[in-house]
Amino acid sequence: MSFRALIFALVTLHAPLLSAQFQDDFSDGDFTTGPAWEGDASVFIVNGNNELQLSNTVAATSQLRSANSMATLNDMEWRIKVRQSFAGSGSNFGRVYLVSDQADLTGPLNGYYLQFGEAGSADAIELFEQTGTTSASICRGTDGAIANSFTAGVQVKRDAGGTWQLLVDLAGGANYVLHATGLGTAHSSSAFIGVRCTYTVSNATGFFYDDLYAGPAIVDLTPPSLISATATAVDQVELVFSEAVDETTVETIGNYTIAPSINVNSAIRSELDQARVLLFLGSALANGGSYTVTVNGVQDLAGNVLVNGSSNFSYLVPAAAGPRDVVINEFMADPTPVVGLPEVEYLELHNTTTDQTFDLAGWTFSDGGTPVTFPSYVLGPGAYVLVVTQANFGLFPAVTNKIGLSSLPALNNDGDALSLRSNDGTLIDAVTYALSWYQDAVKDDGGWSLEQIDPSNPCSGASNWRASNAAEGGTPGAVNSVFAVVPDVSPPTFTAVLVPSTTSLVLRFSEPLDAASIASGSYTISPSVAVQSAVATGADAATLLLAGELTIGQVYTISISGLRDCPGNLIAAGSSRSFALPEAAEAGDVVINEVLYDPFV
């Protein structure tokens, strides 16, 4: 419940006691009126965050107080938000006087105060009873809780028997957790409330106060709400509620349902933050799965019951992508003249896997220049995503699966070399297109996208692309209009041998080959010349480095085996070609053997 909502509840339920109520959130920017604060007013300000702040330039002890008449302390409550931007010490600490019978908070008085900061490193929020100049601890919060700079929401309650409760939210909110209790009955009324700061010059601007309330105990009639649900492990979900929740109702597993059906085995409330609950599930969450948790019956500390609180969450452990797990599936390089789509360039990516989910955060796209970087985007199995600039994001209202980048490389109309890399620099896909890829002399003039025919083809090239057949000119974010599964079951063929030098050969093939099979393949030359190494040269060629020199004029035969195309088809056994290293021609070796000197028909 918010501070203002709590005050409203108090006004409604305790109208006869309004004279005993004090509140100030400094939202008017002025501490001198409504209510009026007095004391060392020249060294305090209300800052831009509407907090009361100490603002001095020298070391000192400074105070502000405001009149707050309380005829009884029975069943009363105090709240305040305190922030100190330094680690407390014996020379740097703050006090909030909840109760005082004197205006001067630095002299003898009868009352109760909270202290923030102390000597040593075990700084805790502590409640004291002061009689004259003697102070005695009533109760002390968690040691070390405010050993460094902190922001804390503090609630203090006193019942009719003189028992005090100290509750704290170390996140600075109102989800208070009980830190300590104690008995203090020496004083039963109050005339003032105030703050007192003791500090060295380095901390003369480091005390902040806000959201003060003093008056009858506030009755909470608002049930808790479920703020969020987050999968923290494959079998755990953390729930965050709007306020501290009751431990008994939290641990009742029947209060939770998760859809699609996942059983809850147990639930535990956090000891540090009683608004957080960890659910332990009976089975594992599916990677990439989306879920809804619904909560009924969980109560806050006042007994208010949550009904039908729900929150959506998902579970994802992104897979590491390999080559062509995600492909450049479609792009608009030349949007002019317009056929039906917006006159802008775009890119489409497609997850070709059936069981892997990828997060595109940190991935890059380039046409050889400065790469552009993707934000986080979860691309599930088989999913498509349209990629445009942020400026053009709204031009595709019907497409919900899209990413807006700060910029995109300007794609050349007649050809470009595109690359997609994962966040670790792995090359995921590359496309080097040409105007001929449209396979249509009309559509290559513009307005039509280039679409990939078979995204599962591991050696996508010119034959696997063509101009879109969609009436709008493209299919951004959806299955391509030219989509077809075209399995390659034909083995590659050995088409030619080139002899660039006495110690190297270039072999040509009918289609792109698997680079690993080129390196591991078998090569036999007759008459015998040993092959030292083999490497892919372009998509459909291999370069062999020879261990010895070829003899000029000698005709050789090379036989190969073990080579495969990208889909894995094995080259035919016994594939061979003859070649020779040309020798220098002498006079008469080559003659003019026939001439047509009069081509008259």
| Cβ neighbourhood burial of 99 (10 Å; 0-12, 13-18, 19+) | buried
Give the whole-angstrom CA distance, residue 41 versus residue 537.
82
Please give the pLDDT value at position 18: 39
Ranges of each domain in the chain: 3-216, 226-315, 326-467, 494-580
Please give the pLDDT value at position 2: 43
Task: Fill in the amino acid letter for 262.
Answer: I
Output 227 or 7, whichever has higher pLDDT: 227
CA-based nearest residue to 466, from 489, 507, 433, 495? 433
Give the whole-angstrom CA distance, residue 162 versus residue 184.
5
CA-based nearest residue to 476, from 388, 360, 382, 404? 388
Please give the pLDDT value at position 15: 39
Output 249 or 177, whichever has higher pLDDT: 249
Output 17 or 391, whichever has higher pLDDT: 391
* Cα distance between the two ends of the chain: 105
Give the CATH fold of the 3-216 domain: Jelly Rolls (2.60.120)
Maximum CA pair distance of the chain?
134
Q: Is domain 326-467 classified as CATH 3.40.50.720? A: no
What is residue 530's three-state secondary structure?
coil
Average of per-residue pLDDT across 132-136: 98
Give the whole-angstrom CA distance, residue 491 versus residue 115.
83
| Cβ neighbourhood burial of 533 (10 Å; 0-12, 13-18, 19+) | exposed
Output 601 or 206, whichever has higher pLDDT: 206
Please give the pLDDT value at position 486: 76
Torsion of CA 384, 387, 393, 398, to 10 degrees: -20
pLDDT at 332 > cutoff 60: yes
Give the whole-angstrom CA distance, residue 204 versus residue 60.
8
How many residues does this entry show for the chain? 601
The β-bridge relationship of strands 134-140 and 93-100 is unpaired
Average of per-residue pLDDT across 209-229: 94
Q: From the CB of residue 132, how many other CB atoms can be counted at a distance below 10 Å? A: 9
pLDDT digits (tens, 9 = 90+) for 270-309: 988 889 999 999 999 998 889 999 999 999 988 999 999 9
pLDDT at 9 > cutoff 70: no
Give the CATH fold of the 494-580 domain: Immunoglobulin-like (2.60.40)
Cα 185 to chain center, whole Å?
52
Which helix (H) or strand (E) covers residue 360, if one does?
Answer: none
Give the whole-angstrom CA distance, residue 54 versus residue 200.
12
Q: From the CB of residue 586, how many other CB atoms can be counted at a distance below 10 Å? A: 7
pLDDT at 8 > cutoff 60: no
Average of per-residue pLDDT across 468-497: 93
Running DSSP on this structure, what letter comes out for residue 581? B
Please give the pLDDT value at position 459: 74
Q: Where do we find the tokens 């080959």?
A: 513
Residue 472, CA distances (Å) to 4, 120, 410, 475 in order: 55, 73, 22, 8
CA-based nearest residue to 503, from 470, 541, 556, 546? 546
Give the CATH fold of the 226-315 domain: Immunoglobulin-like (2.60.40)
* Mean pLDDT score across all residues of the chain: 93
Please give the pLDDT value at position 490: 87
- C-beta pairs of 22-28 under 8 Å, 24+ apart in sequence: 22/66, 22/68, 22/193, 22/212, 22/213, 22/214, 22/215, 23/212, 23/213, 23/214, 23/215, 24/66, 24/212, 25/50, 25/210, 25/211, 25/212, 26/50, 26/51, 26/52, 26/210
Two domains, one topology: 3-216 and 326-467: no
pLDDT digits (tens, 9 = 90+) for 60-78: 999 999 999 999 999 999 9
Give the whole-angstrom CA distance, residue 465 versus residue 453.
6
pLDDT digits (tens, 9 = 90+) for 560-574: 999 998 888 999 988
Side by side, which strands form the sheet with 541-546? Answer: 494-501, 504-509, 541-546, 531-536
CA-based nearest residue to 475, from 379, 391, 399, 389? 399
Average of per-residue pLDDT across 243-268: 96
Confidence grade of residue 20 (pLDDT, cut at 50, 70, 90): low
pLDDT digits (tens, 9 = 90+) for 510-527: 888 888 899 999 999 999
pLDDT at 539 > cutoff 80: no
